[in-house]
Structure 1
Amino acid sequence: MLNKGFGNWIHRRRVKSADHPAVIHAGVSLSYAELAERINKLSDALRERGIGAGSRVAFLGANHAAFLETMFATTQLGAIFVPLNIRLAPRELNFALRDSGSELLIHVADLAADAQAASADSPVSQLLEVAMIPGQDSSYERALQAGSSEHKDVNVQLEDPAIILYTSGTTGTPKGAVLTHGNMTWNSYNVIVDYDITSKSVGLLIAPMFHVAALGMGALPVLLKGGTLVLQERFEPAAVLDAIQRYKITQLSGVPTTFQLLAEHENWAAADLSSLQMLTCGGSAVPLRVLEAYEERGLGFSGGYGMTETAPGTSMLQAAYSRPKMGSAGLPHFFTDIRIADGQGQALPAGEVGEILISGPNVIEEYWQRPEATEASFHEGGWFRSGDIGYLDSEGFLFISDRLKDMIISGGENIYPAEVEQAIMELPEIESVAVIGVPDDKWGEVPRAIVVLKPGSTLDESDIEGHLNGRLARYKIPRTSVFLNEFPRTASGKIRKSDLRKQFS
């Protein structure tokens, strides 16, 4: 075959797993044979609309079977897929469409107004609307059904660009990370090797696939192995617990808040979780009380660290190490290397804190039309600069200290907010916390805690200070605390610290 890219995976998989369910969404199940046929038809429809090698096709929508169909149909042609974050405002979406040069936009029906507004004054000349229920009548479905189901073998190589994923834009103008077919393929190999994905895996996707974690760590590896994906458009604890029992879910991924809300739901105690084999948690370390709640059900967590630019896996912590190496992001993925470096990119010994550098076939080579940003993001030898700081222990386990830009310098001392946040999260009344630096005439900066309490809980500034006294050095203890009802968050569930700095610094 000419096509070496991941766009051809479903075509190859249909021979081995024709009748096995590939995707289940809104009660509609598609086998690998059915999914492959729909991808071929959509690919032909896109070709008829002028899409070819190097063209950009955007998708706007939450988790939907059409997301996967569009991604595979687009990349099968050698074109580039541009998934858009549905939480962005039309002006922000317009930037991504203009910056990527997307020619065609496929969107779900309930985002039609945003799609129209975002497409104005952009290169988008064609829009296709997807019905909320897969397969129902829509311009997307009519275009797909008019296409030929014959598979076309197009010359696509692993080094060819496959996806442009825009960074969350929490600071400055978003950059488009160019993920190649090779990046996504090698990341899938890493996941399959380190997480033991099999053809019997049934993954529940609750995080949005327009975010690299759900796409790279959840969707693609499972489909490569011939497993089954169950898609949910949004996170609802009751619906997740129901889906685990109904579809015999074997793997579930989320952020700490996801798993906390599940454990606190009224249906938790009665839910049958016996099918679950793997829980993976990213974004930050799992609080001890959440870890204990799952251990009581015989479940443990795998953790990990990654980013858009690494497709996204960089390291993983096996569940067996969740207590012995608590707070660690684990060991490098099988085909990925990690270096802790000084400001010149030189390797530091075990235990010393420095910038985390990453190398491997899953790491991007460029940002879309940003040569200056690309050059600034790499050290000599192709080591990608993560912008995170941390250290490797004597056994090679990675520990994240914080983002370089999040680090607080108070009186010449470095304060890593993640360390302070972890200590504050020991208080059972606290649901979430973020620590930021605020200006101080004497010390330059001092830490401030921004806190969200659990419903019905009460806590004040003195309680937090009293809890931290003796646990942390005095200069690390927040001088002030602010209490909120909820945090501003990115699509992946991470707290937008840049928004908090604007409001509370």
Structure 2
Amino acid sequence: MQDALTKITDTLSAVRVMARSGLIPFPRVDEGVGVLLAVSKYGPFAGSVHARAAHGHGRVAIIDERGPLTYRQLEEQSNALVRAWQAEGIGVGSCVGAMCRNHRGLILTMLAAAKSGVRLVMMNTGFARPQLVDVAAREGVHHFVFDSEFADIADALPSDVTPFLSWVDQAPPTPPAETPPRTLDALIAGQSTEPVPAPKDHGVFILLTSGTTGTPKGAPRGRTSPFVTAQFLDRIPLRPKQTMLMTAPAFHGTGISQLGLGLALENTVVMQRRFDPETTVHLLAEHHADTMVLVPTMLQRIIDLGPEVLSKYDTSSLKVIFAAGSAIAPDLSIRTQQAFGKALYNFYGSTEVAAVTIATPDDLERAPGTAGRVPATCHIALIDDDGNKITEPDVVGRIFAKSGLSFEGYTDGRDKQRIDGMLSTGDVGHFDRDGLLFVDGRDDDMIVSGGENVYPLEVENLITERPDVLEAAVIGVEDNEFGHRLRAFVVPAASSARDASEIRTHVKSNLARYKVPRDVIFIEELPRNATGKLLRRVLIEMEVEPE
């Protein structure tokens, strides 16, 4: 009974949010109904494009390095690709892998997969050959779409995997006896662009976990309710017919969720294929973008450009900086507001759960670094070691959450821990007295030093507050006396004196003695994967000479 009431309440909340944001357009309710019908037919991603193309507005859907494509062109070209795939025997039940940067080839592949009922595995562009082979074998990939720059990596796949090129910087090398891979453009040419019948089963996107400690796991995303868009729109003012700059990789949960939402809102999405901080600001100004979607490491590099560079560009159109994928340090929250005004929205979620909480600019102004509050249709609880819910403020517990986009389990049959229908995020955190969530770190990142528990994020945030520090990461290393001692890796600013004792003194002045890093190592950059996740294992295995 309680579950039924929750579903009704969530649905009513979602409808209100969607109406307020313009996704259910009044008085043109017919257009809203048309979108819902198209989503029911083709799924949320392809359904939105199909509906917008049918309206015949001629609005530009995406812009990449090859220029603009309207919603109608996206619809027609994806229809043609579906037919080309059908001629190859690719349809319901087939599994296609895609290793692409942000551009039309990836979008067309995603649309065609949805319309074909295909399982599409969204490969990380940072994969090495062994990771690609492992994931492709586990997921049963028999067709592979990739950019030419990844040809050497794609070559590791078995010979019975059919290759297709989605973007060509230069033709990949082909042995004389072999036929070069066909491009998506060549497949589409000559095919009918008329609408295709809906598949008997919706296509499924397989998102991959970050894989910072091993081979990434597959988290499927299949049929979902259109009402799940409310979890993004409730606390973030995304609106119809705006311009969105997609800087985050679209193969990851952050990028794909906002790309899908942008298309549902009939936005024009500017696709950035390779990240460069000043190029990003240039694109933002050139296209008068309302929204910029990125991961925190990208935001850090943009802010680090400094006022002299940022002031060269008119970014006054920017209303929303959507940042997700890893924690945002309090210092970065403050500096972002100084550079762009009250535009930063800190999205906290996971590949498995999707949305958990969102911090608005007001939240971040009052409590820099907070993960915010739950949006509509989402639920959260902090659980102690005995499995009980924590209701008091400032008490740390494991974070459990659920949303309309929560997954049903990994493709290999494994699952996350579940309590009362909620999934473990793998993080620990606490609420303050105002009900704002703070993520204190990963449960498995906790360091026990001298019998005391230390979460690295608290120490990292304190160190990065210093003007002479760009980034910091703290790990635990084995120690005969304390079990583990803290080691800090610091990326210094140009002005830094690289004084390890000064860093230790700074921490000692603000935190308990057992949280002071014994070792401070200065390095040029922190190891991260393609989505900006810190690779702590690389730091743990790194041979260094403490200063």
User: Under a length normalisation based on structure 1, what TM-score does the superposition of the two structures give?
Assistant: 0.92
Deviation at 1:109, TM superposition (A): 2.1
Contact preservation (8 Å) 2:381, 2:400? yes
What is the match of residue 214 of structure 1?
A: 255
* Deviation readout 1:105-151 (Å, 9 max, x if unpaired): 1112222222222x226xx5311112347xxx963211112322122
2:194 alignment partner in structure 1: 150
* Aligned partners of 2:333 and 2:344 also within 8 Å: no
Question: Compared with structure 1, are the counterparts of its residues 345 and 225 closer, same or farther at alpha carbon in structure 2 (3 Å cutoff)?
Answer: farther
Displacement of 1:276 after TM fit? 0.5
Contact 1:189 1:221 in 2 (8 A): no
**What does residue 279 of structure 1 align with?**
321
Residues 1:104 and 2:147 are matched in the alignment: no
Partner of 1:335: 377
Partner-residue secondary structure (3-state), 2:248: coil
In structure 1, list runs of 5 or more residues that go unmatched: none
Q: Distance in 1 between matches of 2:396 and 2:109?
A: 43
- Hey, what's the Cα distance between the residues in 1 that align with 2:340 and 2:166? 40
> Is 1:255 equivalent to 2:298 in the alignment?
no
Write the distance in 2 (CA, Å) between the matches of 1:473 and 1:342: 23
Find the counterpart in structure 1 of residue 48 from structure 2.
Answer: 9
State the alpha-carbon separation in 2 of the partners of residues 36 and 175 from structure 1.
Answer: 31
Query: Which stretch of the first structure deviates more once superposed, 84-93 or 286-295?
Result: 286-295
Name stretches of at least 5 consecutive residues in structure 2 with no aligned partner.
1-36, 170-180
Q: Does 1:21 align with 2:71?
A: no
User: How far apart are the structure 2 equivalents of 1:187 and 1:113?
Assistant: 39
For 1:255-404, what aligned pairs fall within 5 Å after superposition? 255-265=295-305, 266-282=308-324, 283-288=326-331, 291-292=334-335, 294-310=337-353, 312-351=354-393, 352-368=395-411, 370-371=412-413, 373-374=414-415, 377-404=416-443
Query: Secondary structure in 1 aligned to 2:365?
Result: coil
How has the CA–CA distance of structure 1 residues 308 and 460 changed in structure 2, closer, same or farther, with 3 Å as cutoff?
same
Residue type of the alignment partner of 1:148: S
Distance in 2 (alpha carbons) for counterparts of 1:194 and 1:4: 27
| Structure 1: distance between partners of 2:222 and 2:309 | 42
Describe the superposition over 1:430-469 as per-residue Cα deviations: whole angstroms up to 9, x where unpaired: 1110000111222211211011112353222101011122
1:171 Cα shift?
A: 1.3
Where does residue 263 of structure 2 map in the other structure?
Answer: 223
Q: CA deviation at 1:504?
A: 5.3
CA distance in 2, matches of 1:345, 1:101: 37
CA distance in 2, matches of 1:242, 1:360: 36
The one-character-per-residue Cα deviations of 1:366-413 (angstroms, maximum 9, x if unpaired) are 100x22x21xx1324321111111122344321101101101112221
Structure 2 Cα separation of the partners of residues 238 and 172 of structure 1: 33
Determine helix, strand or coil for the equivalent of 1:322.
helix
Match 2:219 to one of 177, 192, 199: 177
| Equivalent pair of 2:417/2:424 in contact (CA under 8 Å) | yes
- Report the more deviating stretch, 271-280 or 295-304: 295-304
Structure 1 SS opposite 2:310:
coil
* Whole-angstrom CA distance in 2 between matches of 1:155 and 1:396: 44
Q: Which residue of 2 aligns with 1:203?
A: 244
Whole-angstrom distance in 1 between the partners of 2:490 and 2:64: 36
Q: Is the 8 A contact 1:451 1:482 kept in 2?
A: yes
Greater alpha carbon shift after TM alignment, 276-285 vs 424-433: 276-285
Q: Name the CA shift for 1:35/1:411 in 2 (closer, same or farther; >3 Å).
A: same
Instruction: Find the residue that maps to 2:490 and give its secondary structure.
Output: strand
In the aligned structure 2, how far is the partner of 1:244 from the partner of 1:138?
A: 34
- TM-score normalized by the length of structure 2: 0.85
- Name the CA shift for 1:362/1:131 in 2 (closer, same or farther; >3 Å): closer
Number of the residue aligned with 1:140: 184
Identity %, equivalent residues: 29
Among 241, 244, 249, the alignment partner of 2:284 is: 244
* Per-residue deviation, 1:166: 1.9
**Structure 1 stretch 242-251 or stretch 189-198: which is displaced more?**
189-198
Following the alignment from structure 2 to structure 1, what is the Cα–Cα distance between the partners of residues 348 and 511?
25
The 1:40–1:487 alpha-carbon spacing in structure 2 relative to 1, beyond 3 Å, is same
- Length, aligned pairs only: 491
Q: Deviations over 1:206-263 (max 9, x none)?
A: 12111211111x2111001111100011111221121111111111133343233223
Letter of the aligned partner of 1:420 in structure 2? V
Moved more, 277-286 or 493-502: 277-286
Where in structure 2 are the equivalents of 1:19-168 lying within 5 Å? Answer: 19-117=58-156, 119-120=157-158, 125-132=161-168, 139-155=183-199, 162-168=204-210
Instruction: Report the Cα distance in structure 2 between the residues aligned to 1:395 and 1:179, rounded to whole angstroms.
Output: 34
Residue by residue over 1:470-498, the C-alpha shift from the partner in whole angstroms, topping out at 9 and shown as x without a partner, is 20000011111111111110111121112
SS at match of 1:191: helix
